[in-house]
Amino acid sequence: MSKKTNKFSADSFGKETAEVPQENTFYFGKQNFKWMLIGFACIVVGFLLMMSPDANTVDGKYDANAWNEGIFSIRRIRIAPLFVVVGFAIEVYAILKKK
């Protein structure tokens, strides 16, 4: 007798099958959520590092005749965008990581 490879065949037509219903499984596991939170934290830190007074602000007040060189600081130009890009890369990893 040959082994059945197809669970639906003409022989079982009209007969009830005792199949157990499959549970819905969620794609993300604990590790995925952990990595997503780490990525989100990196993005938030990056945007917080970008914050500071604008180019025409001195001591918290707008002055059209003043120029604030702080807008070109290494923190705002290099480090903060790096945090944001790394955070987005971690988010992509967290989404694509298998359970």
* CA pair distance 14, 24, nearest whole angstrom: 27
Residue ranges of alpha helices (H) inside 1-99 are: 30-50, 74, 80-96
Q: How many CA atoms lie within 13 A of 19 on its CB side?
A: 9
**Cα-Cα-Cα-Cα dihedral sign, residues 26, 30, 35, 37:** positive
Residues 30 and 99: beta-carbon distance below 8 Å: no
Residue 2: pLDDT above 70? no
Return mean pLDDT, the chain: 84
Average pLDDT over residues 60-73: 82
pLDDT at 99: 75
Average pLDDT over residues 9-34: 74
pLDDT at 14: 66
pLDDT at 18: 58
pTM to 2 decimal places: 0.68
CA dihedral 45, 47, 49, 55 (to 10 degrees): -170
pLDDT at 63: 81
